């Protein structure tokens, strides 16, 4: 994973290439600009309805729903942005052109991360504005804790994209569905909208093993007026870092298989 | 002459089937060599191993003095690759696509080199066209520009003129020959156009059933097989390369 003096040029070339695609293909902006608003409207409305039905409980379901979906978008946008940047090369059947240049896997990944970060900023901006305008909900009510909570979710999104890219390298384009599918696996298990105690008993140990669970739990605790649960935030961050390590290891293994078994020809 | 490619005893099996069986190949600066053979002979697998895209099961590859796979990135800085069957990145204009690849080669100010390459192959008028709107022939010429952009010491061309009209193929061939003669760039070409190979390359290596079965100048190789030209050698080898059910051949390019 060595960097050279040419690495910044290569990394920026990858980032620029993907930014041009975003500019040229408006449909690619749906993930960033349209679906976040749809999500805020959907989950915010469900939350508002449930809150109205159960005012006696003294707790706002709308707050849980809105904070949940907004924070979920840190995970969603990072994972989808990174995975689709790689998939862009497979959709263009351009992978062989890329792997026969000096760019290393890690330089390419860094270039994708730059584009991904920009998409996250745009996507989160959209959900924050929609939440504020449509439901008067301000995500910044989480205070400074928002920074590490968001960072832990972005780190997890990054880790998940490494797994998805590894799967596509190993199993071909049939594995593309995991780009979106993996998120809808993690969403219910992480307790994005509810405490994981609401999950069936058999699934709770799985929820406990996911770093994302601790990020969403920490956000709910703060919104309920409790003290900032730094231990939960620490677990979310540490779990995210471990997951990235596992993702790098997994992607490295899949790349080795990809090269050993000649899978590059699947994409050309 | 400086050696730019030295491959020794390459072996590659896929699912227990031998695709490449002990191939060795040497290219010096300025060499123009064709790797020929019928479908399934192992050419594409060999090329992809030489480019570091597939790891060999056995054998060694030194590309511009650097051992693969460990020094793949450093080696590929001096190697260009183009395949006639490969598209270019969608949604990018030609000049943007070439800037992208120049960036992957670490080129900091690529515009003059891009202009020069487009001019060399007489396609400057395509600079602002979107890649997905190019004809297959235009795409191939842009692909060749991409391959020569970073002034590589070796250019690998897989079926470069398969989709080109004779006049455009001639233009591509002359551009490549000039590159080789003027700058000492070595060319390694695969093609099914035997006449084109005779015009461009001074040495050919014929593959059959995963092995190199003949190597030398086009006339020497034709003489070895008692044929008038390379077309005759190709037909001879294609005829003897029938699939043996007990020892089937395998080419990953045909798997997809």
- What CATH number does residue B185 fall under? 3.40.50.300
Closest to B217 measured CA to CA, from B231, B230, B207, B226 = B230
| Of B37, B50, B85, nearest in space to B253 by CA | B85
Query: What pLDDT band is residue A226 in, cutting at 50, 70 and 90?
Result: confident
**Interface with A, mutate which of B100, B108, B131 (most A CBs under 10 A):** B100
The predicted pLDDT at position A55 comes to 65
Closest by CA position to A135, among listed A68, A183, A55? A68
Helix H segments across B70-226?
72-76, 94-104, 111-120, 136-148, 166-183, 194-200, 218-224
Q: Is B225 helix (H, G, I), strand (E, B) or coil?
A: coil
H or E stretch including B45? helix B43-50
β pairing state of B203-208 and B186-190: unpaired
B4 to chain A, closest Cα gap in Å: 16
How many angstroms away from the CA of B48 is the closest CA of chain A? 8
| pLDDT class of A1 with cuts at 50, 70, 90 | low
Rounded CA-CA distance A11/A23 in Å is 19
Q: Confirm whether B137 is domain-assigned.
A: no
CA-CA distance, A189 to A111, in Å (whole number)? 31
- Contact A213/A190 with Cβ under 8 angstroms? yes
Q: Who among B86, B103, B106 is closest to A93 (CB)?
A: B86
- Using a CB-CB cut-off of 8 Å, the residues of chain B touching A6 are 77, 105-106
- Both tokens assigned to B241: 């390369």
User: Does a structural domain hold residue B98?
Assistant: no
Pairing of strands B32-36, B203-208: parallel
**What whole-number distance in Å separates Cα of residue A187 and Cα of residue A190?**
6
Q: What is the pLDDT of residues B218-238, one digit of tens each?
A: 999 989 888 888 888 888 887
Two structure tokens written together for B129: 């066209």
Residue A2 is predicted with a pLDDT of: 65
Q: Report if residue B58 sits inside a domain.
A: yes
> Of the candidates A21, A261, A265, which has its C-beta nearest B256's C-beta?
A265
Question: In this complex, which of B14, B85, B107 lies closest to A261 when CB atoms are compared?
Answer: B14
Distance CA A145, CA A133 (A): 23
Please count the structural domains in chain B.
1
What ipTM score was computed for the predicted complex, to two decimals?
A: 0.85
pLDDT for the residue numbered A54: 67
Contact B103 A91 (CB under 8 A): no
Query: Would you say residue B240 lies in a domain?
Result: yes
- B104 and A16 within 8 Å at the Cβ level: the answer is no
Tell me if A268 and B85 make a contact (CB, 8 A cut-off): yes
Q: Give B142's contacts (C-beta < 8 A, 6+ positions apart).
A: B88, B94, B97, B98, B123, B126, B131, B134
Interface check A261 vs B, CB under 8 A: yes
Contact between B77 and A97 using a beta-carbon 8 Å cutoff: no
CB contact under 8 A, B48 and A265: yes
Residue B105 resides in a domain: no
Q: What are phi and psi of A2, to 5 degrees?
A: -90, 145
Whole-number Å distance between alpha carbons of A185 and B128: 43
**Using CA of residue A88, residue A92, residue A96, residue A98, what is the dihedral sign?**
negative
Residues 6+ apart with CB under 8 A from A168: A86, A87, A90, A175, A176, A178
The whole-angstrom distance between A90's CA and the closest CA on chain B is 10
Q: Give A7-45 pLDDT, tens digit per residue.
A: 899 999 999 988 888 888 877 777 777 788 877 877 877
The three-state secondary structure class of B204 is strand
Contacts of A94 in chain B (CB under 8 A): 86-90
Q: Burial of B239 by CB count in 10 Å (0-12 exposed, 13-18 middle, 19+ buried)?
A: exposed
User: In chain B, which residue's Cα lies nearest the Cα of A102?
Assistant: B73
CA A112 to CA A118: how far, in whole Å?
10
pLDDT > 70: what percent of chain A? Answer: 95
Q: Is residue B131 part of a domain?
A: no
Mean pLDDT, to the nearest integer, of A203-224?
A: 93
Task: Examine residue B60 and state whether it is found in any structural domain, yes or no.
Answer: yes
Inside any domain, residue B81: yes
| B28 touches B1 (CB < 8 A) | yes
Nearest residue of A to residue B148 by CA position?
Answer: A101
What does the pLDDT read at residue B249?
Answer: 47
Return per-residue pLDDT of chain B as tens, 256 residues.
Answer: 699 999 999 999 998 899 999 999 999 999 999 999 888 899 999 999 999 999 999 999 999 999 999 999 999 999 999 988 888 988 899 999 999 999 999 999 999 999 999 998 889 999 999 999 998 889 989 999 999 999 999 999 998 877 788 888 888 888 899 999 999 999 999 988 888 888 899 999 999 899 999 999 999 998 988 888 888 888 888 775 444 445 444 454 444 3
Query: Do B99 and B175 form a contact (C-beta atoms < 8 A)?
Result: no
A3 touching B (Cβ < 8 Å): no
Residue B51: domain span: 3-89+153-254
The answer to whether residue A97 neighbours chain B at the CB level (below 8 Å) is yes
Between chains, do B252 and A97 touch, taking CB under 8 Å as contact?
A: no
Number of H helices, E strands in chain B: 9, 10
A265 and chain B: CB distance < 8 Å anywhere?
Answer: yes
Tell me the chain B residues in contact with residue A21 when contact means C-beta distances shorter than 8 Å: 90-92
The CB density around residue B126, as the number of other CB atoms within 10 Å, is 22
Query: Is B92 close to A17, i.e. CB distance below 8 A?
Result: yes
């Amino acid at each position: 994973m060595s960097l050279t003096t040419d690495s910044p040029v290569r990394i920026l070339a990858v980032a620029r290439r993907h930014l041009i695609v975003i500019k040229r293909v408006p449909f690619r902006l749906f993930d960033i600009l349209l679906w976040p608003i749809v999500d805020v409207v959907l989950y915010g409305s469900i939350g508002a309805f449930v809150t109205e039905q159960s005012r006696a409980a003294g707790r706002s379901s709308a707050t849980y729903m809105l904070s949940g979906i907004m924070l979920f978008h840190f995970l969603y946008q990072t994972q989808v942005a990174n995975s689709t940047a790689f998939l862009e090369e497979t959709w263009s059947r351009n992978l062989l052109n890329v792997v026969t240049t000096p760019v290393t896997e890690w330089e390419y990944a860094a270039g994708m991360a730059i584009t991904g970060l920009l998409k996250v900023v745009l996507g989160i901006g959209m959900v924050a504005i929609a939440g504020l305008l449509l439901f008067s909900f301000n995500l910044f009510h989480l205070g400074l804790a928002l920074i590490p909570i968001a960072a832990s979710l972005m780190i997890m999104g990054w880790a998940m994209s490494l797994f998805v890219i590894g799967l596509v390298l190993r199993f071909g384009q049939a594995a593309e569905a995991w780009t979106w599918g993996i998120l809808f696996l993690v969403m219910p298990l992480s307790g994005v909208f509810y405490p994981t105690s609401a999950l069936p008993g058999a699934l709770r140990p799985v929820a406990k093993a996911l770093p994302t669970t601790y990020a969403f739990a920490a956000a709910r605790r703060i919104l309920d007026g409790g003290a900032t649960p730094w231990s939960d935030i620490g677990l979310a961050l540490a779990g995210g870092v471990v997951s990235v390590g596992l993702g790098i290891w997994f992607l490295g293994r899949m790349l080795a298989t990809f090269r050993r078994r000649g899978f590059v020809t699947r994409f050309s | 002459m400086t050696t730019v490619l030295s491959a020794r005893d390459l072996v590659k099996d896929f699912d227990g089937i031998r695709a490449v069986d002990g191939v060795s190949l040497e290219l010096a600066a300025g060499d123009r060599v064709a790797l020929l053979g019928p479908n399934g002979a192992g050419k594409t697998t060999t090329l992809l191993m030489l480019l570091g895209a597939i790891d060999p099961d056995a054998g060694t590859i030194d590309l511009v003095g650097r051992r693969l796979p460990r020094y793949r990135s450093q080696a590929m800085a001096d190697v260009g690759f183009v395949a006639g069957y490969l598209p270019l990145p969608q949604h990018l204009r030609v000049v943007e696509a070439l800037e992208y690849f120049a960036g992957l080669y670490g080129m900091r100010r690529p515009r003059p080199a891009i202009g020069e390459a487009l001019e060399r192959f007489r396609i400057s008028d395509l600079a602002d066209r979107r890649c997905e709107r190019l004809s297959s022939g235009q795409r191939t010429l842009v692909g060749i520009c991409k391959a020569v952009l970073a002034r590589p010491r070796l250019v690998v061309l897989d079926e470069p003129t398969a989709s080109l009209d004779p006049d455009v193929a001639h233009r591509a061939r002359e551009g490549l020959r000039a590159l080789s003669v003027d700058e000492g760039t070595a060319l390694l070409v695969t093609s099914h156009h035997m006449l084109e190979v005779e015009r461009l390359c001074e040495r050919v290596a014929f593959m059959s059933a995963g092995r190199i079965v003949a190597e030398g100048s086009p006339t020497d190789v034709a003489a070895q097989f008692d044929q008038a030209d390379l077309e005759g050698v190709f037909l001879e080898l294609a005829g003897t390369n029938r699939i043996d059910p007990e020892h089937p051949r395998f080419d990953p390019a045909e798997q997809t």
